[in-house]
A and B are shown apart, each in its own frame.
Chain A
Amino acid sequence: MTATLTNQPTIALLGQPNSGKSTLFNGLTGARQRVGNWPGKTVEKKEGHYDRNGLRYRVVDLPGSYSLSANSEEEIITRDYIASGQADVVCILADSSQLSRSLFMLADYAGMECPAILLLNLMDIAESQGKSVDAEKLEKKLGIPIVPFVAADRKKYDVFYAAVERALDEKKLVNADSLLENFHTIENGVFEKLLELLPNEGLESYSAHWLAIKLIEGDIAILEKIKSTLSEDNYRQIQSILSSIKNGALHTGGCKFKWVDELLSDTFVKKQERPLLSKFDRLATHRRFGKPLAILIILLGLVASFIPAAPIMFAGGLIPKLGEPIANALSAISAPQMLTDFINHVILNTLYFAVAMIGFVFGVNLVFGFLEEIGYMARVSYVFDGTMAKLGLQGKAVMPLVVSFGCTIGGAAGTRVIDSWAQRVLTIALAWVVPCAATWAIVPVLSSLFFGAWAPLIIVAIFLVAGIHMMITAKVFGSKLIRDEDRAGLIMELPPYHKPRWKALFRSIFVRTWDILSRALKVILIVSTVFWLLTYSASGSPDKTLLYRFGRAIEPATIIFGFTWQTFLAYLASMLSKEAALGVLGTLYLGAGTLFSATVGSGGEMAAGLSSVLLTSLTPPTALAFIFAVTFNAPCLMAITSTYQETRSLKWTLRILGYYFATSLILAFLAYHIASLIF
């Protein structure tokens, strides 16, 4: 040791990042600090001092490091400094709020032949979490001074000063007897074999057992360091032993954590969590019951989404009623008829659809945002892991699928975390099944219009069909793409349950809802205008328009699938964007007033509300066919582009696109014919 006790004892502060080391260093030294670099390194070196009882104590703040391995420059500097013997006492800081984790440093330190004290820092936080430590008992086990401590509270530093003085006086090392017992259990007796070959006295401040453990961990720097102290034969034997060890860090790490667990087994107490919440969580994450519970909660959530949606949807329904007063007002100022038609049939329809659909978007965001906010949705993704496996997906595919509820584009982009290309393609293919936010914008509007109070049942049916669709799609694509060995195990750390932060929740809901509303307004307006112009006839004879003639020509084929020619065109438009389907429907059915008459032949009136026109023009089976077709059609043009970008395969993008086009027609066909038997 270079420093003597009577002269200037040196205290080295050792701890993992965020253990409170810097707080203690600043608390001890105040303005008496020097900052520089460690010799030949870019790592910052901080030194300072404090005076007490006529002695000047030098304090060295060692770089924050997780352990004393050679994983980083900081770790090497730290252990080399301690081994050099420059410190008279090492003060190890542990975060009391997470002792299992932070005492690993102590386990890694055990075997260093330098006196130490253990500071159980952040004790205030640990206590607030219901944790307590029996420091006296722990001290008996470890043999070094143990100090429950709060580095931020300088008024209580006396316990620290006293512990340092004791450590300097008694010069006790960490008692590692039980840790050594654990090391002896490492398979094939490699620990003993290495101990026999290493110098008994160790090297510098490293004990022989510390060196042996680092060698088992594959620490090249230590192997190089001891090379000069060994005979050629011993060195060769050590190399031979080391080459037989596989994943040595697993064995030594296991021994160290076991030791920490043993230390804490009767010295650490944690207050139990609230039993009610804990019971619910057991059920929510149960392998067998978690899934039905999740399904039940999701279904109830969807039904509940209609409650906040209802008044908004009702308000949307009032918008078309403005048509007559607006038409009268425009007529009074002799506005052109085309302008009146445009406002009545394009602008008001756009507003009607946009406002009506946003009600459910708001409701869904509110209910599911709440479930996400309190931490439940993370459990849903966990319990459905088994389903992921059945679909041939990796566990981590769950997040892209969850994101797809918001937007398929986000889901496709989220598959980048999946390493296997085949798994990525399959995940994207399945993400297309997940109804995105835009789907939830239009389906409830139409379901409520045609099925009234039964609308929630349609939503439930869509979910059931989506589940079956996923299974079939996984079989269709998975057989060509997936091998069982592609699936890796995962660990999920589920977020704790907590009270919702209402302000953040509502801010997020309003942002999302506004985003969807503004996009819907734009898309519906543009599509409605284009289709309105295509069907507008100043002569009042829309049957002369190209679109009308084309529609009439294809209708014998489309009706097989349950489509009128108008709903078929709306279905095709939904491939560009789901909202576009509403624009097309609105324009084609209300058109310039006369198109509806020409199509339906019942003398549709200009002032007729779109909802009543749709109810007159479509039967429940055709409406249901349309709802299913649009829901399970390709999500949107951007999602198709994004699929191509993520898969980098035109072939697979077209396959997925073709598959969804075909399956959505089949589903429309089934929905139409089954509904025809019922209604």
Chain B
Amino acid sequence: MFTKFIRLMNNGKSRSLFEISELLGISPETAEAFIEYLSRKKMLSRVIYNAEELCGSNGCSHCSGCKGCDKSQSGKNVPKIWELNKKLN
């Protein structure tokens, strides 16, 4: 099952958790568990858009309207993204 999972990810497309679960014939909860397992095995990495890390970089600490600086909003409604570790490609 994991081999198929990796194959699905190897074609360079982005897929939603729901789409992956439908293609594999598993529940979205199981797909979530897959992701956690593969992340622990260092086969997947979480892509972190860390607002706090971005904030203040480039001397932009006083810039306005930058979502990167809007800590109250950071990560709340953005998708969680994982990518396949390169060595498995």
Contact = CB atoms under 8 A, between A and B. Distances in A.
Interface of A: 66-67, 71, 98-101, 104, 247, 249-251, 253-254, 257-258, 260-261, 270, 281, 285, 361, 372-373, 375, 377-378, 381-382, 385-386, 388-389, 395-396, 399, 402-403, 405-407, 409-414, 416-417, 436-438, 484-485, 487-495, 504, 507-508, 511-512, 515-516, 518-519, 638, 641-642, 645-646
Contacts of A405: 67
Interface in B14-65: 14-20, 26-27, 29-30, 32-38, 40-41, 43-44, 47-49, 53-54, 57-60, 63-65
B66 A406 contact: yes
Contacts of A645: 57-58
Given A261-B26, A414-B54, A508 B73 contact: yes
10 contacts: A285-B19, A375-B77, A407-B69, A410-B66, A414-B54, A489-B10, A489-B12, A489-B14, A490-B15, A492-B81
B35 A491 contact: yes
A414 B15 contact: no
A431 B8 CA distance: 29
A396 B47 contact: yes
Which among A389, A412, A491, A492 has the greatest number of chain B C-beta atoms within 10 A?
A: A491
Contacts of A641: 58-59
A386 B15 CA distance: 10
Contacts of A519: 64
B38 to A, nearest CB: 8
Contacts of A495: 76-79
B82 to A, nearest CB: 5
Nearest to B69: A410
A357 to B, nearest CB: 12
Contacts of B58: 409, 412-413, 638, 641-642, 645-646
A101 B9 CA distance: 21
B36 A516 contact: no
A493 B80 contact: yes
Given A101-B32, A414-B49, A494-B17, A378 B79 contact: yes
A519 to B, nearest CB: 5
Interface of B: 1-3, 6, 8-20, 26-27, 29-30, 32-38, 40-41, 43-44, 47-49, 53-54, 57-60, 63-70, 72-73, 76-84, 86, 88-89
A417 B10 contact: no
B17 A407 contact: no
A508 B72 contact: yes
A487 B12 contact: yes
Contacts of B70: 406, 508, 511-512
Given A101-B29, A412-B58, A642-B58, 8 more contacts: A253-B41, A378-B79, A403-B67, A406-B67, A409-B68, A413-B54, A487-B12, A491-B44
Q: Which of B3, B41, B65 has the most CB of A within 10 A?
A: B65
Contacts of A67: 40
A504 B43 CA distance: 37
B88 to A, nearest CB: 7
Given A410-B68, A512-B70, A641-B58, A491 B20 contact: yes
A375 to B, nearest CB: 6
Contacts, number: 226
Given A417-B49, A491-B14, A257 B34 contact: yes
B31 to A, nearest CB: 8
A417 B64 CA distance: 22
Contact of A378 (B27, B72, B77): B77
A402 B66 CA distance: 11
B47 A515 contact: no
A488 B89 contact: yes
Given A253-B2, A378-B79, A494-B79, A101 B36 contact: yes
A101 B33 contact: yes
Nearest to B32: A101
Contacts of A436: 65
A389 to B, nearest CB: 7
Nearest to B17: A493
Contacts of B53: 416
Contacts of A412: 58
Contact of A253 (B9, B37, B47, B81): B37
B80 to A, nearest CB: 4
A184 to B, nearest CB: 15
Contacts of B11: 489
A251 B41 CA distance: 12
Nearest to B51: A410
A250 B33 contact: no
Contact of B33 (A257, A395, A484, A493): A257
B80 A492 contact: yes
B9 A642 contact: no
Contact of A66 (B20, B40, B49, B86): B40
Contacts of A438: 65
A417 B47 contact: yes
Contact of B14 (A100, A257, A377, A395): A395
A67 B38 CA distance: 13
B30 A260 contact: yes
A392 to B, nearest CB: 11
B37 A257 contact: yes
A403 B35 CA distance: 26
B54 to A, nearest CB: 4
A375 B77 CA distance: 6
Contacts of B13: 385-386, 389, 395, 489-490
A382 B83 CA distance: 14
A410 B89 contact: no
A646 B77 CA distance: 26
B65 A490 contact: no
A104 B39 CA distance: 14
A104 B37 contact: yes
B85 to A, nearest CB: 9
Contacts of B30: 100, 257, 260-261
B84 A489 contact: yes
B6 to A, nearest CB: 7
Name the residue among A281, A490, A519 with the largest chain B CB count within 10 angstroms: A490
B36 to A, nearest CB: 6
B79 A488 contact: no
A518 B64 contact: yes
B2 A512 contact: no
Contacts of B57: 413, 645
B16 A382 contact: yes
The 3 closest A-B pairs by CB, nearest first: A410-B68, A407-B66, A437-B65
Contact of B77 (A258, A373, A385, A395): A373
B1 A406 contact: no
A515 B77 contact: no
A413 B60 contact: yes
